Structure 1
């Protein structure tokens, strides 16, 4: 593998959630000056960093995985794990005897639907799929360089420091995967927080039904909010809170559950959150790169060159249009959230 250069010598292009949109990824790479050399997309002066969630939902998951893995293995890219890669490991890993479960991730209707396209597209290539599952163990949960950080959903410094100490690095192993199936465990908290984000329980036993039909008693929250006062100040998800709830003040107990990401910390890049509109930083040192590509939004990237204050003019993107349609029939819910 090629040696990784520092930002002083090399720029980085952080690329959002792909979800099987391989044709769109190729368009974005080519727009940024990457060219195929011996079948691998490469740039003479820059390195791509994928934010995770290469799989599930989209029409060309297998092609996307091959493209990304080839780039990573040849030093043209790096990648952090997304919750969908983690979910796939759990879904395909048998639970240990005595656990009361067959698989680490339950094979229920919702989980079956989320991984449906991935398993269908690898149906004729089972050995490849098993190799990719093994490869997922080599993907770090986070990247931290001298002047930037990358994680799929949330940078929690305390959990990351504890994880580094216990795992002696940034990757999980099969023992950690098994341990993480208990959400209340340390391993469960690491995977849920870093790969899915932080949340708060809705008040008074309330629940909300998202656009995906899933009923939730929690809502996703910002890990970077500065001095939030109401629920509206911290909510960060596509489905809005009911207006009366959004106006409610945050209590002291809830405030203790929130994270912060002060302005003087390194710029951090996340995906995961299904943004829309014109790409722009969330604050001077926080940027989300996920702009809903698989829902015919944008496949976006941030071209980072060591700046301390992130800027909207460093985002590039391609709009995802109908040519990303599959070459074969797929389920009608393949692009549902």
Structure 2
């Protein structure tokens, strides 16, 4: 029996955000065991939903675990907005663009990537290798009856991506173009890794639990005929005042994607849900449950079903000691 024939299904894992110790524990709970520095399962494979980096205390460990699994054929991965942000933050802009870096080194952007750069500071070659690996990560996956993207499955944009980049990965020209608003590459990266955001009224702000002030909210893409902001809001922060009753404008409605109930099962991350994992739609699972904010690191054990089942979620709560700056940890991946 060959290697592929034994595959029973995929274990999809949401945004890790540097919670490397909890990732290792979740893999063990799922029946993966480390052999030769790689977590392996005899009959299953992992699919990571992106956002391995930033915020958490064991970012290098999270990247090492995922990268080694992917390179050994034990896992797949799609790119998250935080991997994309790291690439553009660390990539010098070509001459003539009028800026030094593809992603501006503003106080907000500096803060977002600070933990990652701090943890790699004494390992510059490892960081360069991680950035090179990020360039090999596809923006979406479609295989064996399931679909995976970090934030939003937008079929027309995915078709456009596949025409330009059949492997779904970035090259340098696409990366540079993606930082210019209005371009095809910008629309693709923005929608697939960040989803749709609807601006709040002038002067209205959301002060999030992660310490950031936001002037827009995250909207989902599976409402058939949305009428109000409340029909599409998908984030733990409530909209201020009575904004959930605010009607969507035609322009806002036109910007929304739609993923129908007849489409294949879809797995996303990105939206930092809270509480006990639940399905937002019968064929959609969000696996980002705010792990780095002492929430849950969540997996879904998919074995070919077209209608998803909430009983297939598996998770671990992230303990508060995960926040502690790590000493060399018990797991030796070398």
Aligned counterpart, 1:326: 324
The answer to whether the 8 A contact 2:7-2:45 is kept is: no
Alpha-carbon distance between aligned partners in 2 of 1:177 and 1:229, rounded to the nearest angstrom: 35
* TM-score normalized with structure 1 length: 0.93
CA RMSD of aligned residues (A): 1.7
Alpha-carbon distance between aligned partners in 2 of 1:29 and 1:222, rounded to the nearest angstrom: 29
**Aligned-residue offset at 1:38:** 1.4
The answer to whether the 8 A contact 2:205-2:214 is kept is: yes
The answer to whether the 8 A contact 1:183-1:192 is kept is: no
**Aligned-residue offset at 1:328:** 5.2
**Equivalent residue runs for 1:295-334 within 5 Å:** 295-327=293-325
- Secondary structure of the residue aligned to 1:139 is coil
4+ aligned runs moved over 6 Å, structure 1: none
Distance 1:321 1:85, change over 3 A: same
Distance 1:202 1:12, change over 3 A: same
For 1:240, which of 217, 238, 241 is the aligned residue? 238
Kindly provide the CA deviation profile for residues 13-70 of structure 1, in whole angstroms up to 9, marking residues without a partner as x. Answer: 0001111111100110000100111121000000000000001100011111111111
Tell whether 2:286 aligns with 1:288: yes
**Number of residue equivalences:** 325
- Secondary structure of the residue aligned to 2:236 is coil
Alpha-carbon distance between aligned partners in 1 of 2:254 and 2:55, rounded to the nearest angstrom: 35
- Secondary structure of the residue aligned to 2:79 is coil
* TM-score normalized with structure 2 length: 0.93
Tell whether 2:155 aligns with 1:157: yes
- Secondary structure of the residue aligned to 2:76 is strand
**Aligned-residue offset at 1:98:** 1.1
For 2:220, which of 193, 198, 222 is the aligned residue? 222
- Secondary structure of the residue aligned to 1:317 is strand
Tell whether 2:30 aligns with 1:32: yes
**Equivalent residue runs for 1:103-252 within 5 Å:** 103-203=101-201, 205-211=202-208, 212-252=210-250
**Aligned-residue offset at 1:213:** 4.8
> Gaps (5+ residues) in structure 2?
328-334
Distance 1:237 1:136, change over 3 A: same
Alpha-carbon distance between aligned partners in 2 of 1:4 and 1:265, rounded to the nearest angstrom: 29
> Gaps (5+ residues) in structure 1?
330-337
**Aligned-residue offset at 1:101:** 0.5
